[in-house]
Amino acid sequence: MPVRVEATAMADNKLAGWLLAANRSCHEGNLALAELICRHILETVGSQLDALALLGLIALKVRMYDFAIDNLGKALKLDKNNVLARKYLRIAHEQSISQEHKSVRGQTRYLLIKAWGCGFWSDMDHVMGQLLLAELTGRIPVVHWGGNSRFSDNSDRNAFEEFFQPVSNISLPELQKESATYYPPKWTRNNLADGALNQWNGCHSRVAGLYLLNRPESVVISDFHTPVRNLIPWIRTEHPLFGMNRQALYRYLYAKYIKLQPAIEAGIEVFYQQHMKGKSMLGIHVRRSDKVVESSSAGLQEIEKLCLERVDRYLSRSRDAHLFLLTDSTAVLDIYRERYQDRLNYIDCVRTDGDTGIHFLNNASKKRVGIDVVKDVYLAAKCDYFVGNARSNVSTSVLHIKDWSPDKGTLYGDNVLDEENIFIHKR
């Protein structure tokens, strides 16, 4: 019995610490961090009065009045006499009615998605989150990767369109009209094409998708990563995407918006026809370079061991079985070439023998690095089976662009997309 009492006390102390941090963050205006902590509480301990009430207040502050009403109503079911929840619920109802009277019908609104400035498929994960935001807010998305993109040799060009076709028929100049209004206000029509601006620090830094859910401005700009996971709770029940799980949402967004540039698609098809067509193919992604720094070395080694075991089992089934290897490591390529010889396929691309990510290398064309990793992922999606590292956005993206059956696409390790990403919002 004393052990159970002690465990309960520890759990209560942890909950109290979470709630204190959430309330402090909300008071300081860091609504994104406060929301993530509240969601963590609800996922961990279930329905909880203070977390629900605080989520209601956060929704109220970002003008999502129907969500405020819902969360505050749930809080009052747990304690019908909660004074603050009742007060905020009354305000939410009043603001909801006022918003309906003020709503402007037929106004065309836009969401400009800027570069996150990290690895290629991390940047694409940022794009996916913002495309979902565009769907939820009825805004037309425009993707423009400027000077902070790590995948362009010319900072004056839109790096996104070096690889993919535009996601809409609207281009950046159309967002720079004198009549346009912008949020966050650090952006103006004169600097809209710039790269990073107060992305991590300074006025209007770390602007998560939460803050863009219901803005009145004609153009909202996203330059800070918000994953699909964090926007799922904001999908209204009447929305066509409501009820979709995370993987289904990614596949929907890729299918609707992401189309390769014809030259890249043609290059992928040439390689496929020459090296992969007619063969039973297992795609395998082995990540090293900077992932050694981001993850534990032991964890990476265990994943590599599991991948090799899976490859050996696959190749033992048939002499016609072949591999397609994606890797950023020359050492890994050497291991696989020696071990699997003519059953191994891979593209000629930029790799490294150190722990510096290839997108940080100064001796390589940034555009070439981007094209290589796009080809790798799309060729892997043409395989019959795929095995990868769940800690890498490269591997998770392979599972996004094709509707894999669960037994044919396998990721080892803890999925990076399951992380709550609280730390990027801590100031």
Q: What is the DSSP letter of 152?
A: -
The reported pLDDT for the residue numbered 170 is: 97
| 184 prior amide bond cis, ω within 30 | yes
Average of pLDDT values for 352-364?
63
Up-side HSE of residue 364: CA atoms within 13 Å toward CB?
Answer: 19
| Cβ(230)–Cβ(209) below 8 Å | yes
Which pLDDT belongs to residue 291?
A: 44
pLDDT tens digits for range 225-234: 999 999 999 9
pLDDT of residue 355: 61
Give me the pLDDT at residue 360, please. 59
| Token duo for residue 207 | 């602007």
Length of the chain: 427
Give the Cα separation of 192 and 214 in Å (integer). 21
Fold of the domain spanning 2-102: 1.25.40
Q: Is the pLDDT of residue 356 over 80?
A: no
**Nearest of 391, 270, 384 to residue 321 by alpha carbon:** 384
State which H helix or E strand residue 244 sits in.
Answer: none
Q: Which residue has the higher pLDDT, 198 or 156?
A: 198
Task: Give yes or no for residue 354 having a pLDDT over 80.
Answer: no
pLDDT at 1 over 50: no
CA–CA distance, 75 with 87 (Å, rounded to integer) = 12
Q: 387 — phi, psi (to 5°)?
A: -130, 135
Report pLDDT digits (tens) over 258-314: 999 999 999 999 999 999 999 999 999 998 754 444 455 557 889 999 999 999 999
**DSSP H/E element including 332:** helix 330-340
Mean pLDDT of the chain: 91
Query: Class of the 276-417 domain?
Result: alpha beta
The one-character DSSP state at 283 is E
**What is the rounded CA–CA span in Å between residue 414 and residue 398?**
16
Task: Output the pLDDT for position 116.
Answer: 97
List % helix, strand, coil for the chain (3-state, nearest 5): 50, 10, 35
State mean pLDDT over 327-335: 92
